[in-house]
Every structure is written in structure tokens, then in C-alpha cells.
Structure 1
Amino acid sequence: MIKTHRVTHAKHFTVSRLGAVFASLAIGLLTGQAQALATTSDSQQSQSSEQPNIVLFLVDDMGWQDTSLAFTAQPTPANQHFRTPNMEALAAKGVKFTQAYSHAVCSPSRVSLMTGQNPTRHHVSNWTKLPDIDHSGSWGPNAAPRDWRTEGLQPNDVTLAKTLQQAGYHTIHVGKAHFGAYGTQGAEPKNLGFDVNIAGHAAGAPASYWGEKNFGNGMEGAEGLPQGVPSLAEYHQKKVHLTDVLTEKAKQEITKAQQTGKPFFLNMAYYAVHTPIEAHPRLVKHYQNKTYQDTDIDIPEVEENYASLVEGMDDSVGGVLQHLEALGIAENTLVVFTSDNGGLSGHSRQTTPRGTELNSHNWPLHSGKGSAYEGGTRVPYIVAWAKPDQQAAMQQALPIAVNKMSYQQVMIEDLFPTLVAVADAKQHLPQGYPLDGMDTRQFWQATDKQVMRPVVFHYPHVWGPHGPGYEPHSAMRLGDWKVIYLYNSRTWLLYDLATDLTEQHNLAQRYPVKLAQLASRLKQELESMDVQWPVNRVTDKDEEMKLPQGSEALLAQH
């Protein structure tokens, strides 16, 4: 049952009641690489010649600049600070998209990935925890919509995993899920179409990344709920890092997938680089007791730890790709890399390589996770074959340019129709199922091609901290123009991102006709997807979007 934003008390959830959700998976360990390779050739023969394996690397909270791979025309100070050689290598194998987007916070993006729908339509418009409770921030004049889906994604929803499963794929989830709320069936990825679930549950972050702390099991989580990462008890009390453990588990599952005779889909969903910002012990030494490159700015401890989390994730990407090649299946494996929202910058972080503080970690983008600005939603995005080979039949059927860049604007909900098409699984979608994403395969070879389409964001919530754009908002990109509506102040903002990537110059008054056109288009797009408006705390009425004054007359004239 969907509850309103006025619900304030959770039902009584106990660890025993959630036991089924967090039950450990019995995963057998293979005795050696030789045994794995011995089974590879037979399984490859039985795999469909038209369905590639798919590996999706989904990083949590990774910003556009949290990488040594430049997504700008020239490398930035942040690019010089981070160490991500495997991202660089992956981009050299395929196409780097410089204008890729997710939504402002995690659960909306993850549900969009799984459904192909914008949060405006699927109504999981904020991060989830308990099925009856809105966890939005409480400051400001506007509260969350009355009936947004606090329970999150559930088994009755159409999902990418179920669709691929129906098309013959062996589906694997490793890492963070955060699809459905505690105590609901949607908290368990196996109820959403995954054959295998390693370490995924309702929580949006681990209580700890360290095996010595049992990955947070036994630690008191937020609101007394279990926040320890499940199904990894064999690593408890060991000096291991969660990212490394998930990498080993993913490699084991890939090996076992070859024995099924099916193509596989691996949703490699890292808990990194989300808080808690705990060091990756074997990598943090690369940043300790040092200054940012070409500066005299000491790297703060939290930034040392953060960079080690990023590098640990990148190291994992390299490990998974090497394993695909060792098994002889890299030529038949499609790889996509992205993040679930913009980089964290509103709290916890400290001084950047530019000597700046909060809300500047994604520079030249403005602000960060939870925000209406580019720093809240623009993300790294790479598509490649794990091992490019022009002679491989699958790659001839689905060519991907090598070492190229695309300026096409893509969204996380585009992954659903794209991967469904890759898997030849369209026939398994319900008739008339509404999709907001588009098939982006057309840009993988024709990297100069660009299609004009509205890129719509709707976050009718308060995420948490005060800061630039951290409030209920709607926004849209159309070409180089971006329009933002802030519900608290009923303010319109207009930016030309071609000349003002940092979103410092509001052009709303200079270009009233353009503002009127874009504002009207944004409202139309939202209403076509069954928009839910925030609710005014004083009047208890929907806080509907107010078009700019005089818009109707301006539009009539033009």
C-alpha cells in the first residue's frame, strides 16, 4: 500500500523478519583455472550466436571527474589526481560518451535502469528504505509527493533482468541493489529477475567496507535496520576490502555462468564510492602524505580514502575484464560503464585539487549529488567490447567504434531498450509497455551522429543538505540549452551549456522566448509521464510548476 508524505512512524521490522531477504547464498568455489577453461569451449558452442554476454559496471556516487579519464576537452586537476587506468583502457577499446546522465540520487536511477522509464513515470522518485516512510529532508516549504513509491521496485514491475532472463540469459547481480525497501520482496534481486544475488539488499550503503568489521554486520545501522552487507560471512574477520571481495565473487559467477550454456548478464553494481569513505588499505598509500599534483595543497585524509575507493573500483574493472579474456569470452562480451548519479559533494568531502571545498568536487560542473545542476546528474559513460576483434561474428553484427568519443546526450533509462535490443528480447516486453529511454546502439559506430531529444529530470524531494540545487526541482536539456525550475522559490533558470558548462550565468531574463518555450516543453513532458508534484507544507496542496510570467503571450507571438 502506498503511503503519503505525512507518514512518520515505521512498522516494526526485525532482523528475523528480514531473514529470508538476507539469507546467505551457498556458493561453491572451483578448484582452479584449469577446470574453468576446460568447460569453456563446450558452453560457448551452445550459446546463441546472436546474444552477447553483457557486463554492466554501475558505480555508486561516482562523479564525472572522479577519474583519470578526461570527459572534458582538456584534462582537469581532478583527472590528474585520480588513478583509473582500466577506465582509460576501456575507453580506448570503445566509445566514451561525454554527455551522459543519471538522476540526482540512487534509487530513481537504479529503477530507471531496470524499467527503462523516467522517475517521473515510475514514481520511485527518491531513495528508498522503509516501505511506508518518506525519507526526504524536512527543510523548506515543500514536502515530497503524496504517493510516491516508497516501497521501490517490486516483482510485479517489468524489469531488465526479467526480460533478459526470459530471452535466455543467465542473470547475475553482484553488489549494491537498493531497488526495493526493507521487508518487501523487491529488496531481494532474485525476486526481480536475477538468477543469482551476491551481496544485494535494501540498504543503499554498506555499514563498513572492511572484512575486519564484517562489512557492517553486527553494527547498528540507521534506524536500527541491518545495514551490513549480506551473504559474505566467509570473509568476516579477514583483512579484505568489500570491492575486492565482490570482484572475486563476480569472477566466480562468470565462470559458473559458462557452464549453463547461456549468455549471461552481470550487473556489477559497486557499493563504492558511496559513504562511509573508508580507505581501500592496499591502495590508499598512493595518496597518503602527498599534495595534489602541481600544488602545495595537502590531500586531506577523507580525500585520500575517497581516491583509494575510486582506484579500488577501477582495479576491479580490470580484474573482471582480465577474467573474461582468460575464459576466452571477451570477444563476445559487451561492456557498459556508468554511475548512478553525480559525484558526492554536499557533505563529507573536503579540499579539492583546486583548493576549493563543498559543492565543487565535480568542477567544471556545478554542485553534486542530489542537485538540479550538472554536477548532480552528469556521469562517466563508456561502451565497448571487452576485447575488440573485427573478425568476431558478434562484433560484426554489432560494431562499436574503437577509441572514439560521442557528444550524444544519453540517459540511464536508455540502457533498458538498448540492452533489450542487444539481447534480441523485445518480444518479451508487454504490449504497449511505455519506455522513456531510447535505443542508443545507433551511436556506437556512428559516433558523430547526434539526435535532439529532451533529457528530463524530476526530483520533487529535499535530498539532505542545504546547497546549490539541493531542493525539489525539475530540469530539462534540449540541445545545448538547459532549463531548471526550483519549486521552493518558484524560480526559473536558463543556461547555454555550450558556452557555460559551469552554469554560472542565468539567461532567463535575456532570452524570455527561449525560456517560455523550454519551460512549456518541460511541463508538457512531465505531465505526459503522470508527474507527481511536491506538496506545500503550509497549504497541503500540490505545488504545481508555475510557468514564467507572460509565457502564454510570448509563445502566441512566436
Structure 2
Amino acid sequence: MPTNDLSLKLLLAACCLGLLFSPPALAQDRDDSPPNIVYIMADDLGYGALGCYGQTKINTPHIDRMAAEGMRFTQCYAGSHVCQPSRSVLMTGLHTGHTPVRANDIQQFLRPQDTTVAKLLQERGYATGGFGKWGLGFEGTPGQPNLQGFDEFFGQYLQVHAHFYYPYWLNHNDGKHMLPGNEGGKREQYVQDVIHEQAIEFIRENHDGPFFAYMPYIIPHVELVVPEESEEPYRGKFPKISIQDPRSGYIGSEDGLTTLAGMISRLDAQVGEVLDLLVELGIDDNTIVIFTSDNGAQSGGKDKGWTKMTDFFEANGPLRGYKGTFYEGGLRVPFVARWPGKIPAGTTSDHVCGFWDMLPTFCDLAGIDPPAETDGISIAPTLTGSGIQREHVGIYWEYARRNGIGRAARMGDWKAVQANPNGPVELYDLSTDIGERWNVADRNPAIVRQITAFMDGAHTAPREITTDFERTSVNDYVR
């Protein structure tokens, strides 16, 4: 266990924040052409699901290539352990104690006054496009992506719509993009492919730059289905188990392990298409590409089918827990960054960072002054090796449940989890116990008090929701 007293660490960190404060690392390049930014985010892809993070059963050569040609982070965290608030943290640079959207709840969405990374980049002159799952507001709400800084958005505005791979329409800005190949229950247009094609076209049309391509793709979240050509390489390699979703209208698989592996490899191939396109367009060396996931791999399902698949592939690596938990398996995510000539190839970073850091990082890269209100710290110095990297005193998560707010925090190597609002605070030493197997709270009461005080101070009351929007019918979307 760490021998340094946490209070001393906090004092030193606070001093460093003042002493090391400096203008953005790339501010001297403000008059130069800023880099293009491509941010690809999988949905429910666990920390250990990629070859570059130890996966041995699923092939991910293109993302592995990104790691070989760029930087792989070992301690990057999602904004939340579930989808919707994780995206809010990413867009606003505010952790879940401050960000507007703090739960998977259709009644929560971004507000007109919220600052988003897309708004800031748009004001800087970036063409901004989003492709995939939004989750932060739909038609008629101020959270619609075109009102939050995106010139173009193509995909699914609602979380529940992004569960499905063969719907008969998608959102495209203020209208609908129809998919006649899926009408009447047909399965001719795999929606992940349709979304990807639009993202590729956006990059082509805006390759003169600068552009921000936000690609929150929906693989490998439910449903469990992929075109046969992606399953074929895995057919017969794994035990054949039927994985079905208990909810009506959801597609399952009679060969679930094969299907899931095929979905992840299909996503990997699409990442490869993006990398190849940048080379084709001659913009590879002026484009930073980041690949990550919105939270850990999922569990549950009928007969705990998703748990079985996550465990079989060790998709959360050595981490405890799954999506929806405050343990590392729900929060720690793969994070790979590639920028030829700027990010050293084949490097690994153990810098502790998270989604709240993306807004100040992208401001840094684009030569923008970040907003005063942010919980993030730019990781540009780590990425480029230029400047001094500031570190967080602590990082924080919360999620409101019916009986109150569950929460967690990390300070140094100490990780606190209070999943039950009325329960005790658990404490883990990640330097020796990455799997969070041994709760050492009883032996470290002073540390527990300090982290509890930090968590208490990290929460502000969320805004009240006063507008009641009618929920969109799932059946109207998938049939």
C-alpha cells in the first residue's frame, strides 16, 4: 500500500496546479492551421477487448496498428459507467457532479447555455460533424446536436434507438433519413455501416480542414447481430451458445460469441478505413485520431448471456465489475491516440485522465482558450511531449438512483467506491490491487475521510427538469 500521506500529496498537487499553470501547450501555433480531430468512440467496449490491451480471441489489427503508431493509455476513464452521462462529460468537460446530463434519462439533455467542445471548435472555424449515438437531446429540445455546435449530425438522437441495427430511419439534422431496405422487418441496411459511410463522406468533403469528426459508433452494444461476412472468420472457433435479449423486438444470436467477435472486428475494420482515408487524402500528418469506449463491457441479459460473453473474452481485462458499476471494469476504458510526427509511435502512458479532459485538450490543440468552468486538464503535453503535464488532485463520478446518489473517486492510487448511497465507503489501493479485490477502508480511516470530503465537495445539485417530453415508441423505430 502507498506509504505517502494523502494530505501531503494533496498539498503538493495543489501547489503544482498553481506553479505549473501555463498557457495552452500549443498556443504558440494559434496562427497556424490547427489539426483535424477524429474521435471514434465504441459503445460498451471493455478495457480488455482489443489486441493492444491483451485480447487474444478477437482480431483488432487496425486499432492495434493505431497503438503501434501512436500512444496507448492504461489509466483513462470514461465520464460515467453508463452511456448518456458519459457523453455529457465528454461534450462539456464537466464530471458527473457538475455536467447537465447525469443519468440514462430521456428527461435530461444539454441546455442552451451549456458550452460544448463542438461549439468551441465550430467558433474556431472547424467543420463539425457527429455520426452515431448522441443521447443528449432530441428534436424539439435544446440538446439537439445541431444546437450544440454540430454542423451535421447523422445517427440516433435517443439512447434506446441506438440499441437497434436494422431500423427503417435515422436522424439527419432536423429530418429523417429513411432506410427502405429495413422496412417491414427486412435486414438489408446494417445501420452501423450506414452511419460509417456518412462519417467517411464528411471527412472527404471537409478534408481541406480543419474538421472535427465525432464518431460515437454503436458497436458492440445491443442488439447482438452483424452481417455474415464478419462472423465467418470466427465460425466454429468458440463454444456455441445462444444469447437472447429478454426484451421484445431485440435481435439475438444462436452463436453469440461468434457474433460479438464479428461485431468488434467489423468496428476495427471501419477504424482502418478511416486511417487509410486520411493517407489517401494527404492529411494523415495533420489529423489526430483517438479511439476509446464510452464505458466498460456490459453484463446481464437473459440467463446472464452478456456476462458470459464478457467473461469468456475477458473483455474487461483484469478489472472488477462491468458497465453500470463504479468498479474499474465499469469506468476504465481503452484509449489510443495517433498523430504521425506529433505523438511518438509505440508509446504507452499511465497518466490518469478521462473524458472531462477532452474539451481542454482539443482547445489546446486548436489554439483556443478553454472555458473557465471545466473539470478537465489538457493532456496535450502527454500526447506531444511538449510542455509540463498537470495532474488531477482527484477524479469523481456519481449516478443518481432511487435511493440516492452512488459515487466513486480516485485520488492518487486510492480508489473509493460508495455504490449504495447509504452504505459504507469502500477503499482500494490500485497500485497493488487493480482488480479491487481487497477493501482496505478499515485500515485507512484517515484516507477514507479525506476522499469522502473530496466527493462531498465534487457534487452540485442538478438542475430541475420541468419539461415533460413524450417518450418515443421503440416499436415505431424498428418496424
TM-score, with structure 2 as normaliser? 0.79
- Quote the offset at 1:321 in angstroms: 1.2
Provide the residue aligned with 1:520 in structure 2.
453
- Quote the offset at 1:199 in angstroms: 1.8
Which residue of 120, 125, 128 maps to 1:163?
Answer: 120
Match for 1:125: what amino acid?
Answer: R
- Quote the offset at 1:404 in angstroms: 0.3
Identity, % of aligned positions: 30
Which residue of 193, 205, 214 maps to 1:256?
Answer: 205
Q: Which aligned pairs between 1:384-399 and structure 2 lie closer than 5 A?
A: 384-385=338-339, 388-389=340-341, 399=342
Task: In structure 1, list runs of 5 or more residues that go unmatched.
Answer: 1-46, 132-149, 218-228, 292-296, 390-398, 464-470, 534-558
For residues 445 and 287 of structure 2, the distance between their equivalents in structure 1, rounded to whole angstroms, comes to: 49
For residues 287 and 189 of structure 2, the distance between their equivalents in structure 1, rounded to whole angstroms, comes to: 29
Provide the residue aligned with 1:404 in structure 2.
347
C-alpha contact 1:53 1:264 (8 A) present in aligned 2? yes
For residues 451 and 209 of structure 1, the distance between their equivalents in structure 2, rounded to whole angstroms, comes to: 40
Deviations 1:158-183 (A, max 9, x none): 11111101001111111111111564
For residues 310 and 358 of structure 2, the distance between their equivalents in structure 1, rounded to whole angstroms, comes to: 33
Q: Which aligned pairs between 1:261-340 and structure 2 lie closer than 5 A?
A: 261-291=208-238, 297-298=239-240, 301-340=255-294
- Quote the offset at 1:445 in angstroms: 3.7
Provide the residue aligned with 1:190 in structure 2.
146
Provide the residue aligned with 1:202 in structure 2.
158
Task: In structure 2, list runs of 5 or more residues that go unmatched.
Answer: 1-29, 243-254, 464-479
Quickly say closer, same or farther: Cα 1:201–1:216, change in 2 above 3 A. Answer: closer
- Quote the offset at 1:153 in angstroms: 1.1
C-alpha contact 1:361 1:367 (8 A) present in aligned 2? no
C-alpha contact 1:178 1:203 (8 A) present in aligned 2? yes
Match for 1:231: what amino acid?
Answer: H
For residues 405 and 458 of structure 2, the distance between their equivalents in structure 1, rounded to whole angstroms, comes to: 17
Match for 1:192: what amino acid?
Answer: Q
Quickly say closer, same or farther: Cα 1:181–1:120, change in 2 above 3 A. Answer: farther
Runs of 4+ in 1 over 6 A off after TM superposition: 447-450
Provide the residue aligned with 2:14 in structure 1.
none
Quickly say closer, same or farther: Cα 1:411–1:350, change in 2 above 3 A. Answer: closer
For residues 105 and 200 of structure 1, the distance between their equivalents in structure 2, rounded to whole angstroms, comes to: 17
SS of aligned partner of 1:282: helix
Provide the residue aligned with 1:100 in structure 2.
76
The answer as to 2:194 corresponding to 1:245 is yes
- Quote the offset at 1:215 in angstroms: 6.1
The answer as to 2:123 corresponding to 1:177 is no
C-alpha contact 1:342 1:368 (8 A) present in aligned 2? yes
TM-score, with structure 1 as normaliser? 0.68
Quickly say closer, same or farther: Cα 1:361–1:318, change in 2 above 3 A. Answer: closer
Quickly say closer, same or farther: Cα 1:337–1:216, change in 2 above 3 A. Answer: closer
Provide the residue aligned with 1:474 in structure 2.
407
SS of aligned partner of 1:197: strand
For residues 56 and 354 of structure 1, the distance between their equivalents in structure 2, rounded to whole angstroms, comes to: 28
Match for 1:442: what amino acid?
Answer: P
Deviations 1:85-127 (A, max 9, x none): 1110001111110111011111111111111111211241101
C-alpha contact 1:199 1:230 (8 A) present in aligned 2? no
Quickly say closer, same or farther: Cα 1:104–1:182, change in 2 above 3 A. Answer: farther
Match for 1:438: what amino acid?
Answer: I
C-alpha contact 2:295 2:331 (8 A) present in aligned 1? yes
- Quote the offset at 1:472 in angstroms: 4.3
Quickly say closer, same or farther: Cα 1:474–1:208, change in 2 above 3 A. Answer: closer
Provide the residue aligned with 1:423 in structure 2.
366
Provide the residue aligned with 2:23 in structure 1.
none
The answer as to 2:438 corresponding to 1:492 is no
Quickly say closer, same or farther: Cα 1:479–1:49, change in 2 above 3 A. Answer: same
Quickly say closer, same or farther: Cα 1:238–1:505, change in 2 above 3 A. Answer: closer
The answer as to 2:401 corresponding to 1:461 is yes
The answer as to 2:33 corresponding to 1:55 is no
Higher RCO structure (Cα 8 Å, ≥6 apart): 2
Deviations 1:228-286 (A, max 9, x none): x952536646734222222221111111113xx54111001101121112124321122
Quickly say closer, same or farther: Cα 1:123–1:170, change in 2 above 3 A. Answer: closer
C-alpha contact 1:167 1:425 (8 A) present in aligned 2? yes
For residues 164 and 333 of structure 1, the distance between their equivalents in structure 2, rounded to whole angstroms, comes to: 14
For residues 35 and 290 of structure 2, the distance between their equivalents in structure 1, rounded to whole angstroms, comes to: 13
SS of aligned partner of 1:476: strand
- Quote the offset at 1:290 in angstroms: 2.0
For residues 135 and 176 of structure 2, the distance between their equivalents in structure 1, rounded to whole angstroms, comes to: 13
Match for 2:400: what amino acid?
Answer: P
- Quote the offset at 1:193 in angstroms: 1.0
Match for 1:179: what amino acid?
Answer: L
| Aligned-residue CA RMSD (Å) | 2.8
Match for 1:289: what amino acid?
Answer: G
For residues 48 and 241 of structure 1, the distance between their equivalents in structure 2, rounded to whole angstroms, comes to: 42
Provide the residue aligned with 2:91 in structure 1.
114
- Quote the offset at 1:367 in angstroms: 1.2
- Quote the offset at 1:361 in angstroms: 4.8
Provide the residue aligned with 1:153 in structure 2.
110
- Quote the offset at 1:203 in angstroms: 3.3
Provide the residue aligned with 2:56 in structure 1.
80
C-alpha contact 1:207 1:216 (8 A) present in aligned 2? no
Provide the residue aligned with 1:440 in structure 2.
379
Deviations 1:334-381 (A, max 9, x none): 11111111111233415348659xxx7524111111111111111010
C-alpha contact 2:49 2:58 (8 A) present in aligned 1? yes
Quickly say closer, same or farther: Cα 1:446–1:263, change in 2 above 3 A. Answer: closer
For residues 385 and 241 of structure 2, the distance between their equivalents in structure 1, rounded to whole angstroms, comes to: 41
For residues 205 and 356 of structure 2, the distance between their equivalents in structure 1, rounded to whole angstroms, comes to: 29
For residues 400 and 317 of structure 2, the distance between their equivalents in structure 1, rounded to whole angstroms, comes to: 25
C-alpha contact 2:170 2:177 (8 A) present in aligned 1? no
C-alpha contact 2:41 2:215 (8 A) present in aligned 1? yes
For residues 427 and 230 of structure 2, the distance between their equivalents in structure 1, rounded to whole angstroms, comes to: 42
For residues 450 and 408 of structure 1, the distance between their equivalents in structure 2, rounded to whole angstroms, comes to: 10
SS of aligned partner of 1:458: strand
- Quote the offset at 1:532 in angstroms: 5.3
Deviations 1:185-232 (A, max 9, x none): 323x1121111111242334435313xx53699xxxxxxxxxxx9525
- Quote the offset at 1:525 in angstroms: 3.0
Bigger mean CA offset, 177-186 vs 108-117: 177-186
- Quote the offset at 1:57 in angstroms: 0.5
Deviations 1:451-482 (A, max 9, x none): 3531111112269xxxxxxx942111111110
